[in-house]
Amino acid sequence: MQFSKWHGLGNDFVIVNGMKEHFSDYRQQALAVCDRNFGIGADGLVIILPSDIADFKMRIFNSDGSEADMCGNATRCVARYLYETGLTAKTAMTLDTLAGIIKPELIFENGKLATVKVDMGQPRLKRGETPMAGNPEEHAIHVPLEVNGKTYFVTCLSMGNPHCVIFVDDVATIDLPVIGPKIETHSLFPKKTNVEFIQVIDAHTLRMRVWERGAGITKACGTGASAALVAAVLNGHTGRKATVKLDGGNLFIEWADNNHIYKSGPAVEVFRGEYLL
Ligand SMILES: N[C@@H](CCC[C@H](N)C(=O)O)C(=O)O
């Protein structure tokens, strides 16, 4: 199987052109391919497929084999992959995902790629949309969540996939490998959740550490950074534009007047290869 290995701020993916490479069980392959000892090593496996409603379809599988509805960092990598492999000549394209149509755009300055900007769509704030237990019509902004006898105040929303955002004074003090999976699998979240701990640096800057559903700690999460900005605005911590500082680097996020979230950041190819099926 021909593949290409990419990362967006260290959140890494194996990208496969599913129109050329044919194998049956994507979940099993994700588990095998993403394994950092016995496989290629990645946070997720991305398959590019044809679409009737967009330029391409993108399916993303976490390293535990589960399928995610959306992945912000992967959409930037996929956009650059599609353009640089000649699968499209468009610099602004549409991707059909389980979370709807996502629109990445390659931004060039002086003939060089400067950034990839993605229209991530609209945040979904109702509990029923996240999904999260409770009144499906209500929002969950700064609501208490008890884990291991400690109360966290959480803001939960969907960016196509579920996020639980928690503001803390110092993200360095959070024992993410312990608390992350407890919140990910908390009974309040019927489809589990991604978990973001956020420290407000100032009205334009957030520091974030993430525990991803199906992947554990990753160096960055694009949907998570988008959810973090929405939560920061809803809790009165920042304006509608902010830099989110992740372990792997920075993303710039804007919640525009049209209610869409725009996310800008890098996408880097690391190597190409052939994986033995
Ligand atoms: N790293 C991603 C999100 C990947 C999917 C996530 N783990 C889920 O299961 O929802 C991003 O950059 O958004």
Cα distance between residue 214 and residue 67, in whole Å: 9
Ligand 1 atom closest to 66 (CA): 9
| Within-domain flag for 128 | no
Residue 232 tokens read as 């920061």
Indicate which residue's Cα is closest to atom 4 of ligand 1. 71
Residues 253 and 166 in one domain: yes
Residues 163 and 97 in one domain: no
Q: Rounded to the nearest whole angstrom, what is the distance from the C-alpha of residue 159 to the centroid of ligand 1?
A: 10
| Within-domain flag for 219 | yes
Catalytic residue annotation: 71, 221
User: Per-residue pLDDT for the chain (277 aa), expressed as one digit of tens each?
Assistant: 999 999 999 999 999 999 999 988 999 999 999 999 999 999 999 999 999 999 999 999 999 999 999 999 999 999 999 999 999 999 999 999 999 999 999 999 999 999 999 999 999 999 999 999 999 999 999 999 999 899 999 999 999 999 999 999 999 999 999 999 999 999 999 999 999 999 999 999 999 999 999 999 999 999 999 999 999 999 999 999 999 999 999 999 999 999 999 999 999 999 999 999 9
Residues 110 and 149 in one domain: no
Q: How many domains does the chain have?
A: 2
Residues 252 and 157 in one domain: yes
Residues 115 and 14 in one domain: yes
Residues 146 and 114 in one domain: no
What CATH number does residue 15 fall under? Answer: 3.10.310.10
Which residues contact ligand 1 via a Cβ below 6 A? Answer: 11, 44, 62, 68, 71-73, 161, 194, 212-215, 218, 221-224
What range does the domain containing 217 cover? 140-259
| Within-domain flag for 250 | yes
Q: What phi and psi, each to the nearest 5 degrees, are found at residue 239?
A: -80, -170
| Within-domain flag for 64 | yes
Residues 98 and 183 in one domain: no
Residues 144 and 253 in one domain: yes
pTM attached to this predicted model: 0.97
| Within-domain flag for 129 | no
